[in-house]
């Protein structure tokens, strides 16, 4: 279970990072083009970076909850 959750977590984050890298590469190409891309039309902005940081925090929290609930199950008292 832990291996599956960790594998999914790693794979999904790898895909997100790859997508952002491709979008950033496209932005760089369009900024160097003639005429250059205006800043308000860029794909990767500070809002995108903040959203990715927030999503990573949420994913990490959910991952820790899933792993600890698997490793330390609640026991019935009585």
Alpha carbons 68 and 9: distance in angstroms, whole number: 15
**Length of the chain as a residue count:** 78
Confidence of residue 60 (pLDDT cuts 50, 70, 90): confident
The sign of the torsion formed by the CA atoms of 28, 39, 56, 8 equals negative
> What pLDDT is recorded for position 57?
85
The reported pTM is 0.61
pLDDT, tens digit, for every residue of 7-56? 887 888 888 888 888 988 988 888 888 888 788 888 888 888 889 888 88
Q: Which residues contact residue 12 at a Cβ distance below 8 angstroms, ignoring those fewer than 6 apart?
A: 59
Query: Considering only CA atoms, which of 19, 13, 18, 21 is closest in space to residue 57?
Result: 13
């Amino acid at each position: 279970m832990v291996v599956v959750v960790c594998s999914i977590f790693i794979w999904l984050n790898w895909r997100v990072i790859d997508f952002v890298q491709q979008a950033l590469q496209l932005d760089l190409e369009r900024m160097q083009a003639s005429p250059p891309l205006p800043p308000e039309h860029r794909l990767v902005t500070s809002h995108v970076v903040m959203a990715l940081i927030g999503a990573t925090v949420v994913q990490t929290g959910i991952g820790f909850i899933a792993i600890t609930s698997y490793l330390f199950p609640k026991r019935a008292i009585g």
